[in-house]
Chains A and B, each alone.
Chain A
Amino acid sequence: MIQRLSRRDLMRGSLLGAAAFGVPAILAGCGNPAERGAAAPATGAAARGVVTLGSNASDEVPKKALDTVIKAFTSNDLKINTVDHNTFQENINRYLRGTPDDVFTWFAGYRMQFFAEQGLAVDISDVWQEIGADYTPAFKAASTGSDGKQYFLPFTYYPWAVFYRKSLWQEKGYEVPATLDEFTALARKMKADGLSPVAFADKDGWPAMGTFDILNMRANGYDFHVSLMAGKETWTDPRVKQVFDLWRGLLEHHQEAPLGRTWQEAAQSLQQKKTGMYLLGMFVAQQFPESDRDDLDFFTFPEINPQFGTDSIDAPIDGYMVSAKAKNVAGAKALVKHFAQAASQNVATSLDPGTLAASSKADTGGYSALQKRGAELVSGAAHIAQFLDRDTRPDFASTVMIPAFQRFIGKPDDIDALLRDVEAQKANIFR
């Protein structure tokens, strides 16, 4: 997701410099602030410790959402350091080893496990014992490190699906495809109607990851996908080759010249009814004017292998972690618990319509039609993947997979050589 957000940041020109660095927390040996409410005066010295929060919510909408959410956090004084989204991500290594804030925004899955393994995050299993019932097992799994402890608190997420305009589909009499054959048949029909069937853009390099993820999970299942992402399978495996073969077959139905197009342009072509459907994250709605948003609907990518059906989707989760160098761990955990509350997440999702609340206790009554459908889709999925660049090593995703996918899209017939190259580079990175 790095690329998407950086792009968005650029577009909005909202480059916020790193704000003032964290004021050292005034540490008194205070206990858990949540308990303090009951036994407050007894501990005497327990001053209101300052909690610092490192936030990458530099975009206008997420920033406003976060500001509103933390207004309700009163047990500690809070200091937010907002850093430009892209900068935050690029500097995460140095940040966590330097003087990180107590709590910081991060992503679930492999990217979280990577830092947990390096000992850069605090185990928050105790928080999970209190709030665990509010989350589905899939969310808990996405928050769990390789040692079985929880290091992450899911806050919001958004699913990937195939988006389309209801009005166009009604007018032309298209129906949601349930299998790959129906999908290609639909694409042919769209082409006959003068549409470019599947909108596609990969100039930024990352959107094609979404296509690969879904094809791999549909064809080979979630377990294989995760294992492949973790570097445990070979890329020259016939199963991987099959995914690329499938993809090559579908490419003819995709919009031409994707490598020169941004996802924003592709989304606009969907909005302008020049293309029939578009596999993307729910943020596709950003490119739709307010008046057209109710016309936007989606379906999950159709079944390829009946053994797996449509049991997995990409739905990247954003959330919070406590840094190992936190000066006020108790306060940090209190803040994390605040983020776990359904009420906090509801505030965020009402302000940022491209996201869904992670907590199962969250009130979905205030959701837009699209958000409601998104929540249904995710609750029906047995497995939730985090998107390729969050499910594997960041160096592998950015320096190997992005060039590989672009090469494939440019020359789809050269699959064997491509996969040999990917495998050779994988061996160098996962050593």
Chain B
Amino acid sequence: MSQKARRYSARDRALLIAGLGVVITLNAALIWGPTLASVVLSATDWNGISEIRWLGGENYHDLAAEYPPFWTAVRNNVLWLGFLGLLATPFGLFCAVLLDRRLALSRVYQSALYLPVVLSLAVVGFIAQLVYSADYGVLNAVTGMRTDWLGDSSINIWVVMVAAGWRHVGYVMIIYLAGLKAVDPALKEAAAIDGATETQAFFRVVFPTLRPVNVIVLVITVIEALRAFDIVYAINKGRNGLELLSVLVTENIVGEASRIGFGSAIAVVLLVIALGFIVTYLTQIFREDR
């Protein structure tokens, strides 16, 4: 990056301009244009038909102060991130470590854990309904309970996160499994010879060598948490305790409601949260490069 400027021939320059130009134009048109448009629209009350009227920050005030689903959605997004990051991901790692030890039938376990990953989250949502439905769900039928798992807004987010985690665990497991297979067995042997216990060997030797995999898994987990949408939408359109920011954006903008200004304000909030993670991640990466 910090090299001195070279001399480019006219042809090189033309190529550079053409090459970069196309990318920059596409990038601006497809990413930054719509992003800026959302930011601008979030300060209006546009409904898609009417004249655009400026409201300034009013949408943000209404969001925070007078739109009850907003804070539920923020809370749920944080819960989702916490659940995937602190429970589902470590559990996926745990499964990967166990499977890496070549248990009997490990292929069977591996397939069973990986199976949900091939399902889309919307399908997981339908399966969740078959399990959790109060009237005909498997869970109530087997346990004899009469809990309204999906309708009770104080518990439904948890059971839905379990369903989402079911899929996430398999995803994380397969990535870690690949990473573990690539760890040089000599490292573990050396640790064992040096008298490290199995736990020490894992946390001090194996886990640090998995660093590149960890970064990938972290990024996947954050992305999964922020883009969660289809599972709650399939279950109850993301209402009544299952609100997520992505759902509120859709609910307000798409559809007949057409509260484009208001929905854009929610989208901007989601953007800011996403940017927080992206910036942290990129600074980490660039720091290492140096």
Contact = CB atoms under 8 A, between A and B. Distances in A.
Contacts of A410: 152-153, 240-241
Most chain B CB within a 10 A radius of its CB, from A92, A205, A257, A261 = A257
A90 interface: yes
B133 A260 contact: yes
Given A259-B152, A261-B135, A428 B66 contact: yes
A421 B68 contact: yes
A11 B48 CA distance: 31
A257 B151 contact: yes
B119 to A, nearest CB: 17
A74 B236 CA distance: 45
27 contacts: A90-B256, A92-B256, A93-B47, A93-B256, A93-B258, A120-B49, A203-B236, A204-B237, A205-B240, A256-B146, A256-B148, A257-B146, A259-B148, A260-B135, A260-B148, A260-B149, A261-B133, A265-B133, A265-B135, A394-B256, A394-B257, A395-B258, A407-B68, A410-B240, A421-B68, A424-B65, A431-B45
A407 B240 CA distance: 7
B109 interface: no
Nearest to B50: A118
Describe B's contact surface by its main secondary structure.
loop
B135 A398 contact: no
Contacts of A424: 65-66
Which 9 residue pairs across A and B have the least CB separation, nearest first?
A260-B151, A259-B151, A257-B148, A395-B257, A394-B256, A424-B66, A406-B240, A260-B150, A260-B148
Interface stretch (B202-210, B214-222, B247-255): B247-255
Contacts of B133: 260-261, 265
Given A259-B151, A260-B148, A395-B252, A97 B68 contact: no
A30 to B, nearest CB: 31
A246 interface: no
B134 A260 contact: yes
B233 to A, nearest CB: 11
Given A90-B255, A421-B66, A425-B67, A406 B239 contact: yes
A339 to B, nearest CB: 23
B198 interface: no
B54 interface: no
Interface in A1-45: 2-3
Contact-residue size bin, chain A (C-beta under 8 Å from the other chain): 35 or more
Interface residues of A: mostly helix, strand, loop or mixed?
helix
A92 B45 CA distance: 19
Interface of B: 45, 47-50, 62, 65-69, 132-136, 146, 148-153, 156, 236-237, 239-241, 251-252, 254-259, 262
Contacts of A194: none
Nearest to A411: B153
Interface in A72-102: 89-90, 92-94, 97
Contacts of B236: 203-205, 259
A94 B48 contact: yes
A2 B240 contact: no
A403 B69 contact: yes
Interface of A: 2-3, 89-90, 92-94, 97, 118, 120, 203-205, 256-261, 265, 269, 394-395, 398-399, 402-403, 406-407, 410, 421, 424-425, 428-429, 431
A90 B257 CA distance: 8
A256 B237 CA distance: 21
B259 A259 contact: no
A258 B151 contact: yes
Given A265-B136, A395-B259, A205 B62 contact: no
A402 B251 CA distance: 11
A203 B132 CA distance: 13
A424 B251 CA distance: 19
Given A90-B254, A97-B49, A398-B256, A257 B134 contact: yes
B258 A259 contact: no
A94 B259 CA distance: 13
Contacts of B67: 425
A259 B242 CA distance: 12
Nearest to B234: A10
